[in-house]
A and B are shown apart, each in its own frame.
Chain A
Amino acid sequence: MKNIFSTRTGIIVVGAVIGIGAALLQYFGNPPNMGICVACFERDIAGALGLHRADVVQYLRPEIMGFVLGAFVAAFLAGEYKPRGGSAPLIRFFLGIFAMLGALVFLGCPWRALLRLAGGDGNAILGLLGLISGIFIGVQFLKHGYSLGRSYTQRKASGWIFPAIMVGLLLFLVFQVTFTPGGPIFFSAKGPGSQHAPIFISLIAGLVIGALAQRSRFCTMGAFRDAILIKDFHLISGVAALLVFAFAMNLILGQFKPGFEGQPIAHTNHVWNFLGMALAGLAFVMAGGCPGRQLFLSGEGDMDAAIFALGMIVGAGIAHNFATASSPKGIAAFGPAAVIIGFIFCLIIGFTQRDKITA
C-alpha cells in the first residue's frame, strides 16, 4: 500500500497540522509560544515525577503520551511496529541527557524554536542558527563514517515497554495520584507548568500528531540534516509548513508579538541561545532524530530511541537540580559548563564511533 503521508504533499500537510495544532493548544491553555515543545514537556514530566523540584515546571503533559501512543497505533496498523534495539544504548542515553541540557539553556526543542519564531520571538533566530550549526557539525561526522552500530530485532513484547509507561503516566494524570503527603505526583500551581489545555484536547492532539508524524517520518533535525548532507529538501518542506501555518494561526488568534525583550519563557543571551541549541542539534544528529522523532520511533518499538527519550527526561532532572537550565531571567550559573561538557562528550563520541569507509 502506498504511504500518502511520506510524499511531498503528505509531509507539508503534516507540518501544517502540527503548526496549527500547536497554536491552538496555546489558545486552549498551553504556555505561550509553547503549544508543543517536546523538551519542555519532558522537563515538565520529570518535574511531576519529582526528578527535579522546580515548582513552576511540573505537569504530566498528555501531548507526550499521545505522541508515543499515536505513533504506536499507526505503526501497528501499518505493519511497521517492529521492536528493535541494541545500538549503543548507553551512548544514546547520554546523548539524550546532553541534548536536554543544551535545549534547556536555549529553552526549547527545535519544534519550540520554530513556534517561538512563529510567535514573534527574535531570540529563536539565534536558537535556530545554533541548531543548524550543530547539525552541520554532526553531518561532518556522518560523512566520515560515524555510526553507533546496528540495532537488532527484539522480541515482540519488548517494544510495549515504553508505550506502557506512557499509559501509566496518563493514568497518574487522570487520577491525580499522590504517593506521599507533599510528594509526587507534583502539579505546578503557578508558572508554565500550571498552564495547560484540557487533558482531553491535549491527548487527542498528541495522538493525531503522533500518528501523522509516524506515517510521514516528520523530523526537524532530519530536515536540516538532509538539506546539508544530500541536498534533499523533502523533510524541510514539512518544517517550513509548520512555521508558516503556526505563524498564520498566531496572527489569527492574536498570539503574534514580535521582539527580543520580554518574550515568554525566553531570555536574550544570544551567545548561549546559539550554543545551547548547537549542542542539542549535534546530539540529535548523533542519535538519529529530533526529540519528537525519537518519541515516534519509540512508539514503533525502537528501544534505542526510547533510551534517548529517557535520557532527555533524566537530563531535565539534572538541568534543574544542578542549575544548568535557563529561566526568563537568563542563563543559570552552570549552564555554560554543561554545554561545554556536552560538546566535549559529543566530539569524543563523534571521533571514536566510526566505521571504516569503503566506497
Chain B
Amino acid sequence: MTIKRIDARGLSCPQPVVLVDRAVAAGNTDLEILVDNEVARENITRLATRRGLKTDARQEGPDMVIRTAKA
C-alpha cells in the first residue's frame, strides 16, 4: 500500500480537513498529513476517526505528521 502524502501546512481552517476528506473519499486509507498547528491536528484526527481510520501523530521539527491507517 502506498502512502499518500498531504501537505496541509499553513492552510486555514477547514482546508486541511477538506484535503484529507477528499483523499479518504477517493479510497485512500494510508495517509501521511503534514500540519503546522494543533487545531489542524485535532480536526484531522476527529475526521479520520469518524471515517473509521486510526491515527497516530508525531512531532517533526516545527511541524506535526499525522499517519492514518485502517482501524
- Is B46 an interface residue, CB under 8 A from the partner? yes
Q: How many A-B residue pairs have CB under 8 A?
A: 55
- Is A278 an interface residue, CB under 8 A from the partner? no
Ranked nearest first, the 5 interchain pairs of A and B with the lowest CB-CB distance are A150-B10, A288-B12, A359-B26, A151-B10, A288-B13
Given A232-B47, A357-B22, A359-B26, A152 and B11 touching (CB < 8 A)?
no
Interface of A toward B, CB cutoff 8 Å: 3, 6, 78, 80, 82, 84, 87, 142-143, 147-148, 150-153, 217, 222, 225-226, 229-230, 232, 234, 287-289, 304, 357, 359
B56 to chain A, nearest CB (A): 16
Asked if A359 contacts B25 (CB within 8 A), the reply is yes
Asked if B21 contacts A230 (CB within 8 A), the reply is yes
Interface residues of B in 37-68 (CB under 8 A from A): 37-39, 42, 46-47, 50, 62
Asked if B12 contacts A151 (CB within 8 A), the reply is yes
A188 to chain B, nearest CB (A): 35
What residues on B are CB-neighbors of A222 within 8 Å?
13-14
When C-beta atoms are compared, the residue in chain A nearest to B13 turns out to be A288
What residues on A are CB-neighbors of B36 within 8 Å?
82, 153
- Chosen A-B contacts, 12 in total, with CB atoms closer than 8 Å, are A3-B42, A6-B42, A82-B37, A87-B10, A142-B18, A148-B12, A217-B39, A217-B42, A222-B13, A232-B46, A287-B12, A289-B13
When C-beta atoms are compared, the residue in chain A nearest to B25 turns out to be A359
What residues on B are CB-neighbors of A234 within 8 Å?
46
- Is B69 an interface residue, CB under 8 A from the partner? no
A7 to chain B, nearest CB (A): 10
Chain B residues touching A, majority SS: helix
Asked if B11 contacts A147 (CB within 8 A), the reply is yes
A156 to chain B, nearest CB (A): 13
Given A80-B38, A232-B50, A304 and B12 touching (CB < 8 A)?
yes
Asked if B10 contacts A359 (CB within 8 A), the reply is no
Of B11, B14, B38, B47, which contacts A150 at CB under 8 A?
B11
A59 to chain B, nearest CB (A): 31
A316 to chain B, nearest CB (A): 23
When C-beta atoms are compared, the residue in chain B nearest to A305 turns out to be B12
A217 to chain B, nearest CB (A): 6
Cα(A229)–Cα(B18), bound, Å: 8
- Is B17 an interface residue, CB under 8 A from the partner? yes
Given A87-B10, A288-B12, A359 and B17 touching (CB < 8 A)?
no
Asked if B46 contacts A80 (CB within 8 A), the reply is no
A118 to chain B, nearest CB (A): 26
Asked if A230 contacts B47 (CB within 8 A), the reply is yes
Given A153-B62, A217-B39, A226 and B12 touching (CB < 8 A)?
no
What residues on A are CB-neighbors of B50 within 8 Å?
232
What residues on A are CB-neighbors of B15 within 8 Å?
142, 147
